[in-house]
Amino acid sequence: MLWNSVLLAVRAIRRNVLRSFLTILGVVIGVASVIVMVTLGDGATQSVKDQMQSLGANLLMVRPGMRMGPGRDAALSPNFKMADIEALAEQIGSVKAVVPTASAMVTVVYQAKNWQTTVTGSSAAYFQTNNWRLASGRFFTEAEERAGSAVCVIGSTVRRELYGAESPVGTTIRVKSFACDVAGLLESKGQGGFGMDADDMIVIPLRTLQRRVRGNDDVTGLQVAVKEDASIDAVIEQIKVLMRERRKITEGEDDNFTVFDTRQIADTMSSMVRTITMLLGSVAAISLLVGGIGIMNIMLVSVTERTREIGIRLAIGAVETEVLSQFLIEAVALSSFGGLIGIFSANAIALGVTRLIDVPFMFNPGMNLVSFFFSALIGVVFGYFPARRAAQLDPIEALRYE
Amino acid sequence: MSADSSEIPLVELRGVTKVYGQGQAAFQALRGVDITIRQGEFVAIMGPSGSGKSTAMNILGCLDVPTEGAYVFRGAHVEQLTRRQRALVRRHYLGFVFQGFNLLARTSAIENVELPLLYRGEPHGVRRRAALAALASVGLAGWEGHTPAELSGGQQQRVAIARALVSEPVLLLADEPTGNLDTQRGREVMELLASLNSEKGLTVVMVTHESDMARHAKRVVHFLDGLVERDHRNGGPH
């Protein structure tokens, strides 16, 4: 009997292909937008995590000023001094390494080509704490670092812009006004989130940067690598106490530096992205609901339009439950078919968009399955009322209906 | 009457009344009708519009129940059955032919004819064989795949008759079966019904207002103002 109802439903759908398609369009769009939103959100979250992972675990960043980004008051927030590095390394127990950084925007030139990029001055430990790997050549050594040698390691974007396919190791480029030997090429970390290109940079010894580029001995940032088993929060507290002391901040006065925990940043960003994903997902879910109401509307119209047909069925000997199940199955078949189309097109769209904005495509089988069953459920919920109305028609009046 | 009087009648209306509406708006469509129809009869019900012939037909077809009185179908009191039970009586014992053909649009002839068997739960092979045989018996072999829009009125009515026959009913009810057809097609349909009655012994009850068509029946019942005015055997062509 159920199989017969399925057969009848399928025949009824097939009889009017265009109307069936328009009926399910709402569900198609609803399901597709939910899946696209969530898939893109998952991808963005993963992208943030990957990016933060590439910064290295258990890494604290100390920066002058109270907040990140532009607008900090340089006069109130002096840069760090070389002595701060030693103080941190020696006086805080759980610190594995303290890596000073300073950076500047420079133009680098190789033969006829030039490229505007960021030059970071740091110590040899920088590569390790930031999870950089070599594609070819070598990092600069501690000896070169102490001597302030004109030697650099370049990112893959800089290599692409200046060298094309040519090997850069062993050549000399001009950084601002001095010639610099290229010792190594870094492995690409790929595009970070938010449009930042992690590979668009070169690294030189800090002393070289201070003398030849910036012309002062400022350190604009400190990276503190913490031992794996140490409590990050305790170390942050110790750094704050020590730096307040060294920067002569009196009690009651605010810090003029900030300590960032990369993991914490990653968590914050992930949860932010997740919130946005949920927000967009629920907007999309509303459109799914609207799609369901669309199905109910068309099914109601269809019941009215097919009154005579229902009359024929009842006269021929269909019982109420058979008419009810036929219409219900019609609604469920339509909506779940719409769900299927939605799922397929959503994954195709999501795949395309993730490629375009360069975030990983995260196929979520559970969510696809849930979307499918939800679309079927929409058919049951919004198909029941019209189906019951059809089943309860009076056969005589239904047959007389014009 | 030629039928054996000891035989249980196929259908029997006893003092049937039917009132539509309530209070002042009430309309008495039937005022106490007694009709007995036996196996193998071909009855034409005639009468002006509003005489109650369609109401009687709906009651005979188990689509409606009497307000008062009894409708006994093969010994069962239909007026006591539930809506569902009446649907099952229609499914297993009755065949319907309508004035407006009432075929499912955009549906092939064979799918239309199969429909009653689908509700009976017959398997696909049985349905198909029975539907093809029924179409052939109304002279439409080879037209299985055509939809109603691709068939003439006469052909559509024959598909409808095939649909009524496919479930091998004990009673065929035809409501103005020739009303939408020209004289020639109408006569063909009437001859088909008459031959089903005479050759297969199928009991046929038909509503018509054309005395031309009623002549094909063996017995004519005239309705007037909700009562049976005249009930007589037909000299007719038989």
> What is the distance between the alpha carbons of residues A229 and A96, in angstroms, rounded to a whole number?
11
Find all residues with CB under 8 Å of A220, minimum gap 6, and list them: A63, A64, A79, A80, A101, A102, A103
- For residue B4, what pLDDT is reported? 47
- For residue A203, what pLDDT is reported? 94
How far apart are the CA of B237 and the nearest CA of chain A, in angstroms?
A: 31
* Angle at which helices B109-120 and B153-165 cross, to 10°: 20
A392 touches chain B (CB under 8 A): no
Q: Which residues of A touch B103 (CB under 8 A)?
A: 312
Residue B18 pairs in a beta bridge with B30
Query: CA Rg, chain A, in Å?
Result: 33
A319 touches chain B (CB under 8 A): yes
- For residue B89, what pLDDT is reported? 95
Q: State mean pLDDT over A363-373.
A: 89
**Nearest residue, CB atoms, A317 vs list B64, B87, B107:** B87
- For residue B5, what pLDDT is reported? 45
**Nearest residue, CB atoms, A8 vs list B63, B87, B118:** B118
Domains of chain B: 11-102+169-233 (3.40.50.300)
> What is the distance between the alpha carbons of residues A152 and A106, in angstroms, rounded to a whole number?
13
B76 touches chain A (CB under 8 A): no
**Nearest residue, CB atoms, A315 vs list B84, B96, B167:** B96
ipTM: 0.91
> What is the distance between the alpha carbons of residues B170 and B9, in angstroms, rounded to a whole number?
12
Q: State mean pLDDT over A208-219.
A: 88
Q: How many CA atoms lie within 13 A of A248 on its CB side?
A: 2
Q: What angle do CA A116, A118, A121 make, to 5 degrees?
A: 140
B121 touches chain A (CB under 8 A): yes
* Model confidence band, residue A287 (pLDDT cutoffs 50, 70, 90): confident
B88 touches chain A (CB under 8 A): yes
Asked whether the beta carbons of B9 and B76 are under 8 A apart, the reply is no
pLDDT of A119 > 90? The answer is yes
- Of the candidates A339, A368, A359, A338, the one whose C-alpha atom is nearest the C-alpha of residue A351 is A359
Find all residues with CB under 8 Å of A196, minimum gap 6, and list them: none
Q: Which residues of B touch A16 (CB under 8 A)?
A: 106
Please, what sign has the CA dihedral across residues A186, A187, A191, A194?
negative
pLDDT in tens, A132-185: 889 999 999 989 998 999 999 999 999 999 998 889 999 999 998 899 999 999
Residue A134 pairs in a beta bridge with A186
Mutation for testing the A interface, residue in B49, B93, B99, B102 having most A CBs under 10 Å: B102
A395 touches chain B (CB under 8 A): yes
Q: Among residues of chain A, what percentage have pLDDT more than 90? A: 29
Q: Which residues of A touch B96 (CB under 8 A)?
A: 315-316
Is B87's CB within 8 Å of A312's CB?
no
Which segment of A80-89, A133-142, B109-118 scores lowest on mean pLDDT? A80-89
**Nearest residue, CB atoms, B87 vs list A11, A309, A318:** A318
Q: What angle do CA A225, A230, A236 make, to 5 degrees?
A: 65
SS3 letters for chain A?
CHHHHHHHHHHHHHHCHHHHHHHHHHHHHHHHHHHHHHHHHHHHHHHHHHHHHHCCCCEEEEEECCCCCCCCCCCCCCCECHHHHHHHHHHCCCEEEEEEEEEEEEEEEECCEEEEEEEEEECCCHHHHCCCCEEEECCCCHHHHHHCCCEEEECHHHHHHHHCCCCCCCCEEEECCEEEEEEEEECCCCECHHHCECCCEEEEEHHHHHHHHHCCCCECEEEEEECCCCCHHHHHHHHHHHHHHHCCCCCCCCCCEEEEEHHHHHHHHHHHHHHHHHHHHHHHHHHHHHHHHHHHHHHHHHHHHCHHHHHHHHHHCCCHHHHHHHHHHHHHHHHHHHHHHHHHHHHHHHHHHHHHHCCCCCCCHHHHHHHHHHHHHHHHHHHHHHHHHHHCCCHHHHHHCC
pLDDT in tens, A144-153: 998 999 999 9
B170 touches chain A (CB under 8 A): no
A6 touches chain B (CB under 8 A): no
* Model confidence band, residue A326 (pLDDT cutoffs 50, 70, 90): confident
Is A315's CB within 8 Å of B92's CB?
no
- Of the candidates B178, B222, B173, B216, the one whose C-alpha atom is nearest the C-alpha of residue B198 is B216
- Of the candidates A291, A318, A314, A324, the one whose C-alpha atom is nearest the C-alpha of residue A9 is A324
- For residue B237, what pLDDT is reported? 47
Is A11's CB within 8 Å of B96's CB?
no
- For residue B81, what pLDDT is reported? 94
B14 touches chain A (CB under 8 A): no
Q: State mean pLDDT over A120-138.
A: 89
**Nearest residue, CB atoms, B88 vs list A309, A312, A319:** A319
A to B CB pairs, distance under 8 Å: 62
B18 touches chain A (CB under 8 A): no
> What is the distance between the alpha carbons of residues A288 and A371, in angstroms, rounded to a whole number?
10
- For residue A57, what pLDDT is reported? 65
**Nearest residue, CB atoms, A312 vs list B94, B104, B118:** B104
Is A15's CB within 8 Å of B105's CB?
yes
Q: State mean pLDDT over A93-111.
A: 90
Q: Is B54 left (phi over 0), alpha (psi -120 to 50) or beta?
A: alpha
Please, what sign has the CA dihedral across residues B70, B219, B197, B154?
negative
pLDDT of A4 > 90? The answer is no
pLDDT of B2 > 50? The answer is no
